[in-house]
Amino acid sequence: MIIIAGYTRTDAEKRDGAVEAFRGMVERARAYDGCLDFSISADAVDPERVNLFECWRDQTTLDA
């Protein structure tokens, strides 16, 4: 299992729009065989933070 986790920062008033802009990418990633989870979400505490999380079955599926 491969887990990739991190975050990025943006202006608080732009955060929700930034998360929404990645909706299509999240949907496409989740459709891949081997993608166990993929998420780009607004942080519950910090209004300027966007959390990134990916979980893949193995390196081969991540590379594909």
Q: Which domain holds residue 43?
A: 2-63
Instruction: Indicate the pTM of the whole model.
Output: 0.88
In angstroms, the CA 62 to CA 53 distance is: 13
- Per-residue pLDDT of the chain in tens (64 residues, 90 and over written 9): 999 999 999 999 999 999 999 999 999 999 999 999 999 999 999 999 999 999 999 999 888 8
What CATH number does residue 31 fall under?
A: 3.30.70.100
Number of domain units in the chain: 1
What string of DSSP letters covers 10-46?
Answer: --GGGHHHHHHHTHHHHHHHHHSTTEEEEEEEE-SS-
